[in-house]
């Protein structure tokens, strides 16, 4: 009788064990994936049914109420705009910008109340209704109004971080002017050319915002003057200080400074001072320039000669 020997192979046993575990894991993964797919299909069907049910409850009377609410909201916003702007011009000058800064909050309040009313009108704000519609609306609006939603979120954040307010003089990209309106989607700038530029709030995500007065009435004005290298620096500096201190627009409680810089083409003088009111920026700068040039003419001060690009080193 032959004897049969069974040799135990440790490596083969480990491989067999690993194979069994892998097959078991794949089996359970397949079951879980199928269960998740069934659950997702059931949830989608339930959401579609609930959405159809909500749409079926929309009546002509509800649509009429919604239109009335939108008209009232629009009228309220216009009345608030006119009232706040009128009131800001009636109060003391130092309170003008503070009154205007209530404008975005009041507009946001009216819009929020309107949205809540419309949601309650059509959705009967409840847990089931919100679950039924939120997913569909979120996906649709997320793609269709991605930039608009980004601007709204940036506008809400802007109310707390305050990169600009109504009445501020700001520079965004190539546009500079006074913020005359703070809306849900963006702000409106009135430029020195008297153009109104609408800039969406989401620009604050990627662009620098330069604010000249940050809610204050005063904004620094820089006036530049150009002379030849051999000009009497002390004389020009004295003239500029005198011109700034004697201007009726200058706010004397803030510092006045003259900066001198040497350039390849001559000498640059910068007069830094503050008007009493930021909205007088350009009138103030014109007054300084006109009076300074009149004084310069009396002393026959030399201006820089016209240079070519090769002479200036450019």
* 112-149 per-position pLDDT tens digit: 888 878 777 776 655 555 555 566 666 665 665 677 77
Between the alpha carbon of residue 37 and those of residues 40, 44, 159, 305, the distances in Å are 5, 10, 43, 80
How many degrees, rounded to 5, is the angle at CA 245 between CA 89 and CA 302? 120
- Counts of helices then strands in the chain (DSSP H, E): 10, 8
% residues pLDDT > 70 (the chain): 70
Cα 2–chain centre separation: 92
The whole-angstrom separation of Cα 245 and Cα 288 is: 10
Mean pLDDT (whole number) for 146-166: 81
Cβ-based neighbours of 58, under 8 Å, separated by 6 or more:
122
Token pair listed for 290: 């006109």
**Range from 50-64, 84-98, 208-222 carrying the lowest mean pLDDT:** 50-64
Provide the pLDDT confidence category of residue 240 given band limits of 50, 70 and 90.
very high
Sheet of strand 221-227, all strands in order from the earlier edge strand to the far edge: 221-227, 266-273, 257-263
Give me the residue label for tokens 């706040």.
84
- C-alpha distance across the termini of the chain, in Å: 107
The C-alpha torsion from 213 through 215 and 216 to 221, rounded to 10°, is 20
Give me the residue label for tokens 């359970």.
28
pLDDT given at position 129: 56
Phi, psi of 172 (to 5 degrees): -125, 120
The whole-angstrom separation of Cα 274 and Cα 277 is: 8
**Range from 48-57, 175-184, 227-236, 272-281 carrying the lowest mean pLDDT:** 48-57
The whole-angstrom separation of Cα 286 and Cα 239 is: 16
pLDDT given at position 21: 52
Mean pLDDT (whole number) for 305-311: 56
Q: Assess whether pLDDT exceeds 50 at residue 8.
A: no
The whole-angstrom separation of Cα 290 and Cα 292 is: 6
**Range from 65-69, 124-128, 158-162, 191-195 carrying the lowest mean pLDDT:** 124-128
Provide the pLDDT confidence category of residue 11 given band limits of 50, 70 and 90.
low
Provide the pLDDT confidence category of residue 4 given band limits of 50, 70 and 90.
very low
As a whole number, the mean pLDDT across the chain is 76
Q: Which of 242, 199, 231 is nearest to 299 (CA)?
A: 231
The whole-angstrom separation of Cα 243 and Cα 12 is: 98
pLDDT given at position 245: 93
Q: Assess whether pLDDT exceeds 60 at residue 6.
A: no
pLDDT given at position 235: 92
70: β partners = none
Mean pLDDT (whole number) for 217-234: 88
More confident residue, 253 or 215: 253
Provide the pLDDT confidence category of residue 22 given band limits of 50, 70 and 90.
low
pTM to 2 decimal places: 0.51
The whole-angstrom separation of Cα 124 and Cα 137 is: 16
Token pair listed for 39: 């659950």
Between the alpha carbon of residue 260 and those of residues 18, 235, 242, 296, the distances in Å are 81, 12, 16, 16
The whole-angstrom separation of Cα 170 and Cα 35 is: 56
In the chain, which ranges are E strands?
A: 169-172, 175-182, 186-190, 196-200, 209-211, 221-227, 257-263, 266-273
């Amino acid at each position: 009788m032959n004897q049969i020997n069974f040799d135990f192979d440790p490596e083969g046993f480990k491989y067999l064990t690993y194979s069994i575990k892998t097959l078991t894991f794949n089996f359970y993964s397949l079951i879980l994936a199928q269960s998740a797919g069934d659950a997702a299909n059931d949830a989608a069907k339930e959401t579609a049914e609930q959405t159809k049910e909500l749409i079926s409850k929309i009546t002509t009377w509800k649509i009429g109420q919604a239109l009335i609410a939108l008209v009232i909201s629009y009228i309220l916003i216009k009345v608030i705009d006119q009232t706040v702007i009128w009131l800001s011009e009636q109060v003391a000058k130092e309170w003008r910008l503070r009154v205007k800064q209530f404008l975005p909050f009041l507009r946001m309040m009216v819009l929020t109340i309107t949205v809540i009313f419309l949601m309650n009108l059509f959705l009967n704000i409840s847990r089931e209704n919100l679950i039924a519609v939120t997913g569909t609306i979120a996906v649709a609006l997320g793609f269709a109004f991605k930039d608009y939603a980004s601007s709204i979120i940036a506008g809400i954040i802007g109310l707390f971080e305050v990169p600009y307010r109504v009445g501020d003089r700001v520079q965004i990209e190539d546009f500079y002017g006074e913020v005359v309106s703070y809306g849900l989607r963006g702000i409106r700038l009135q430029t020195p050319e008297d153009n109104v530029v609408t800039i969406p709030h989401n620009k604050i995500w990627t662009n620098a915002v330069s604010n000249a007065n940050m809610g204050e009435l005063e904004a620094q004005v820089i006036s530049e003057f150009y002379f030849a290298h051999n000009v009497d620096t002390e004389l020009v500096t004295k003239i500029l200080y005198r011109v700034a201190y004697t201007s009726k627009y200058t706010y004397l409680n803030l510092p006045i400074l003259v900066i001198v810089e040497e350039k390849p083409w001559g000498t640059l003088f910068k007069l830094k001072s503050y008007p009493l009111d930021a909205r007088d920026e350009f009138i103030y700068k014109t007054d300084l320039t006109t009076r300074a040039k009149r004084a310069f003419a009396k002393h026959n001060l030399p201006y820089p000669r016209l240079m070519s690009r090769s002479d200036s080193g450019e």
